[in-house]
Amino acid sequence: MAQSSKSKMESLISESYIKLQREILGRGPHETKTFIVRDMVIIRMKGVLTQEEQHLVKTEKGKQLVKAMRRILREQYSLETEGIISKITGCQVCSSHSDISTKLGEQVELFVLNKDLEKLLKEQSDFKRCQED
Protein backbone atom coordinates (compact mmCIF):
# COMPACT_ATOMS: atom_id res chain seq x y z
CA MET A 1 0.00 0.00 0.00
CA ALA A 2 1.32 3.43 -0.91
CA GLN A 3 2.31 5.77 1.87
CA SER A 4 -0.28 8.53 2.38
CA SER A 5 0.51 12.20 1.74
CA LYS A 6 0.16 12.83 5.46
CA SER A 7 2.63 10.14 6.51
CA LYS A 8 5.07 11.21 3.77
CA MET A 9 4.92 14.78 5.04
CA GLU A 10 5.36 13.64 8.65
CA SER A 11 8.43 11.60 7.65
CA LEU A 12 9.92 14.50 5.71
CA ILE A 13 9.45 16.84 8.67
CA SER A 14 11.12 14.31 11.00
CA GLU A 15 14.08 13.88 8.65
CA SER A 16 14.50 17.64 8.21
CA TYR A 17 14.30 18.22 11.94
CA ILE A 18 16.90 15.53 12.67
CA LYS A 19 19.23 17.17 10.15
CA LEU A 20 18.81 20.57 11.82
CA GLN A 21 19.43 19.10 15.28
CA ARG A 22 22.66 17.53 13.99
CA GLU A 23 23.79 20.89 12.63
CA ILE A 24 23.01 22.69 15.91
CA LEU A 25 24.11 20.11 18.51
CA GLY A 26 26.43 17.84 16.56
CA ARG A 27 24.06 14.89 16.97
CA GLY A 28 20.42 14.14 16.40
CA PRO A 29 17.81 12.44 18.55
CA HIS A 30 17.70 8.62 18.76
CA GLU A 31 14.09 8.58 17.62
CA THR A 32 11.85 11.22 16.04
CA LYS A 33 8.16 11.02 15.25
CA THR A 34 6.04 13.77 13.72
CA PHE A 35 2.28 14.02 13.99
CA ILE A 36 0.01 16.27 11.94
CA VAL A 37 -3.10 16.91 14.01
CA ARG A 38 -5.61 19.38 12.58
CA ASP A 39 -3.77 22.73 12.44
CA MET A 40 -0.76 21.52 14.44
CA VAL A 41 2.52 19.79 13.72
CA ILE A 42 3.90 17.98 16.76
CA ILE A 43 7.43 16.59 16.76
CA ARG A 44 8.43 14.19 19.54
CA MET A 45 12.12 13.42 19.84
CA LYS A 46 13.57 10.78 22.15
CA GLY A 47 17.18 10.55 23.26
CA VAL A 48 18.00 14.21 22.72
CA LEU A 49 20.45 14.82 25.56
CA THR A 50 24.14 14.92 24.71
CA GLN A 51 26.64 13.01 26.90
CA GLU A 52 27.51 16.23 28.72
CA GLU A 53 23.86 17.08 29.31
CA GLN A 54 23.18 13.59 30.69
CA HIS A 55 25.79 14.24 33.37
CA LEU A 56 24.56 17.77 34.08
CA VAL A 57 20.91 16.79 34.63
CA LYS A 58 21.87 14.67 37.64
CA THR A 59 21.76 17.87 39.73
CA GLU A 60 19.04 20.51 40.04
CA LYS A 61 21.42 23.26 38.94
CA GLY A 62 22.44 21.15 35.95
CA LYS A 63 18.81 20.59 34.94
CA GLN A 64 18.19 24.32 35.00
CA LEU A 65 21.34 24.95 32.98
CA VAL A 66 20.39 22.40 30.29
CA LYS A 67 16.84 23.76 30.02
CA ALA A 68 18.14 27.35 29.78
CA MET A 69 20.71 26.45 27.13
CA ARG A 70 18.14 24.55 25.05
CA ARG A 71 15.66 27.43 25.36
CA ILE A 72 18.29 29.90 24.12
CA LEU A 73 19.23 27.63 21.21
CA ARG A 74 15.56 27.17 20.31
CA GLU A 75 15.01 30.93 20.30
CA GLN A 76 18.14 31.46 18.21
CA TYR A 77 16.99 28.93 15.59
CA SER A 78 13.22 29.58 15.73
CA LEU A 79 13.11 31.20 12.28
CA GLU A 80 14.85 28.17 10.77
CA THR A 81 12.62 25.65 12.53
CA GLU A 82 9.47 27.52 11.54
CA GLY A 83 10.84 27.87 8.00
CA ILE A 84 11.27 24.10 7.71
CA ILE A 85 7.67 23.55 8.76
CA SER A 86 6.32 26.26 6.44
CA LYS A 87 8.29 25.00 3.46
CA ILE A 88 7.23 21.38 3.86
CA THR A 89 3.57 22.01 4.77
CA GLY A 90 2.90 25.03 2.57
CA CYS A 91 1.25 26.67 5.60
CA GLN A 92 2.24 29.66 7.68
CA VAL A 93 3.39 29.01 11.24
CA CYS A 94 1.30 31.17 13.60
CA SER A 95 3.18 30.14 16.74
CA SER A 96 5.59 27.53 17.98
CA HIS A 97 6.34 26.03 21.36
CA SER A 98 9.01 23.72 22.73
CA ASP A 99 9.83 21.84 25.91
CA ILE A 100 12.45 19.34 26.99
CA SER A 101 12.20 16.70 29.68
CA THR A 102 15.54 16.34 31.41
CA LYS A 103 14.12 13.31 33.24
CA LEU A 104 13.24 11.34 30.08
CA GLY A 105 15.63 13.00 27.62
CA GLU A 106 12.74 13.86 25.32
CA GLN A 107 11.90 17.06 23.52
CA VAL A 108 8.57 18.14 22.04
CA GLU A 109 8.09 20.82 19.40
CA LEU A 110 4.64 22.14 18.56
CA PHE A 111 3.83 24.34 15.58
CA VAL A 112 0.41 25.94 15.15
CA LEU A 113 -0.45 26.54 11.49
CA ASN A 114 -2.77 29.00 9.80
CA LYS A 115 -4.75 26.14 8.19
CA ASP A 116 -6.15 22.76 9.16
CA LEU A 117 -3.43 20.79 7.36
CA GLU A 118 -4.83 17.39 8.33
CA LYS A 119 -8.17 18.28 6.69
CA LEU A 120 -6.44 19.63 3.56
CA LEU A 121 -4.37 16.47 3.15
CA LYS A 122 -7.45 14.28 3.59
CA GLU A 123 -9.37 16.30 0.98
CA GLN A 124 -6.43 15.98 -1.46
CA SER A 125 -6.28 12.23 -0.83
CA ASP A 126 -10.04 11.85 -1.35
CA PHE A 127 -9.85 13.91 -4.55
CA LYS A 128 -7.03 11.73 -5.94
CA ARG A 129 -8.95 8.60 -5.05
CA CYS A 130 -12.05 9.88 -6.89
CA GLN A 131 -9.97 10.62 -9.99
CA GLU A 132 -8.55 7.08 -9.95
CA ASP A 133 -12.03 5.48 -9.80
Nearest to 53 by CA among 62, 41, 44: 62
Report the relative pairing of strands 106-113 and 31-37 from DSSP bridges: unpaired
Express each pLDDT in 103-125 by its tens digit: 999 999 999 999 999 999 988 87
Domain annotation for the chain: domains and CATH numbers: 5-132 (3.30.980)
The one-character DSSP state at 115 is S
What is the pTM assigned to this prediction? Answer: 0.90
Can you give the pLDDT at residue 125?
75
| In contact, 21 and 48? CB cutoff 8 Å | yes
Express each pLDDT in 38-65 by its tens digit: 999 999 999 999 999 999 999 999 999 9
pLDDT band at residue 26 using 50, 70 and 90 as cut-offs: confident
